[in-house]
Amino acid sequence: MKRKTTGLYCAVLCVCVLRCAGPGGRPDWENLLPVSGRIRMEPDYASVTVPPNIAPLNFTIQEESQGFAVRISGDRGSPLEIRGRGASVRFPLKPWKRLLSGNAGGTLRVDIALRRDGRWTRTPSGSLHVAAFPMDDYLVYRLLNPKYYLWNRLRLVQRALGDFREKTLLDNRVIGRDCFNCHSFAQNRPDRFMLHFRGGKSDGLFVSTPEARFKTDTRTAFNHSPAAYPAWHPDGRRIAFSVNNLGMFFRALGDEVREVIDMLSDIVLYDPDTNTLTTTPAISDSAYLETFPAWSPDGRTLYFCRTPKLSRQIRIPEEPLQHAVKRVRYDLMRIPYDPESGTWGVPGTVLRAEEAGGSITRPRVSPDGRFILFCVSDHGN
């Protein structure tokens, strides 16, 4: 019996030594061998600010090693530590949520250790800043193939941002594979939204509000093209739309051979309660292309993008269209609006394309109205 007991102790001791020495063992964080530089990872979340209710920020370590250990710690709650032999770092959902919610408004320390040649090493610690307030729980987006000729295979998908659950809201197979696009919610409210259907029997603008659900044709004698890019007014009672006549041609060379351009483009205001469109020459000038409307949080300023009409940018009558397109660059504009009277002011330039270093498109105003986010490209929209 005594010999068997001694053998058992030896076996336990061997298991403990192997576990501490192997890639799956827990590293001694305070006494690890330091190395210079940062560990390469994809995506790289270093020093970003994240909502406290975001799903685990998993990543891949892009370094050669026999194992890894990752520890995330904050001022409150227990640290979250995981270990593995591969390159994929996946955080468990419940401990992740506890750590982030417990440190809302604070900063998390991120430590990564790699095992190489039998030794654990660590690089300087990184950080994650946790915002004080949570984000919305869901994101709705279109899921489609990047190949344009597969446009007739698409779904409208809802993603839970606090985990990785997805739900299909609309599959175009149920509408004869017709296209749909430009879905938009008023102030992120799921009970007030709109969605465009393109082509076939389902063609038209679908609007859903607490008062009614209906589909309508937004083409009029003024705008022969239907409504396109939307921007709900903050009061949820009207929608600014661009009405675009789009053209597309192909190039023989280059990384991107497709070119989509606006031949005509104006901005209109749609009232779902009366099913009417209105506009003003200030945002539907025949000499310009106006597009991409975006409201200020108080609903008293409409931002949009504008460039001279394409025909005004052709230098000689014989100039090919694909050459003139290279000079099309949109400025960022704004115009006052009075929601009570429904009247417009005089438009003004916020930022010229030359100052931005390219064509300005798709502006978005921050909730406090202090910042504007927009895209900049070489030309066009």
**Residue ranges of the domains in the chain?**
22-130, 136-215, 218-381
Asked whether residue 293 carries a pLDDT value surpassing 60, the answer given is yes
Q: What percent of the chain has pLDDT over 90?
A: 65
Q: Are 123 and 38 within 8 A, CB to CB?
A: yes
Strands (E), 98-188: 107-116, 119-122, 126-130, 138-144, 154-160, 166-171, 179-186
Q: Is the pLDDT of residue 320 over 80?
A: no
pLDDT at 135 over 70: yes
Q: Give the count of beta carbons closer than 10 Å to the beta carbon of residue 312.
A: 11
Cβ 325 vs Cβ 259: under 8 Å = yes
Whether 163 and 55 have beta carbons less than 8 Å apart is answered as: yes
Q: Is the pTM of this model over 0.95?
A: no
Query: Average pLDDT for residues 116-143, to the nearest whole number?
Result: 92
Give me the pLDDT at residue 374, please: 98
Q: Which of 369, 319, 374 is nearest to 352 (CA)?
A: 374
- Mean pLDDT is lowest, of 11-20, 62-71, 73-82, 338-347, for 11-20
Residue 50 confidence (pLDDT): 97
List residues bridging with 270 in a β-sheet: 239, 277
For residues 241 and 229, give the distance between their C-alpha atoms in angstroms, rounded to a whole number. Answer: 5
How sure is the predictor about 263, in pLDDT bands with cuts at 50, 70 and 90?
Answer: confident
Task: Provide mean pLDDT across the span 72-79.
Answer: 95
Task: Using pLDDT thresholds of 50, 70 and 90, give the confidence band for residue 188.
Answer: very high
**Contacts (Cβ under 8 Å, ≥6 apart) of 227:** 196, 205, 218, 239, 241, 242, 243, 268, 270, 277
- pLDDT surpassing 70 at residue 281: yes
What pLDDT is attached to residue 317?
A: 65
Tell the CATH topology of 22-130: Immunoglobulin-like (2.60.40)
Tokens of 284: 């539907």
pLDDT on residue 20: 37
Whole-number CA gyration radius for the chain: 28
State residue 315's pLDDT score: 58
What's the mean pLDDT when you consider all of the chain? 88
* Residue 55 confidence (pLDDT): 97
Q: Do the beta carbons of residue 194 and residue 183 sit within 8 Å?
A: yes
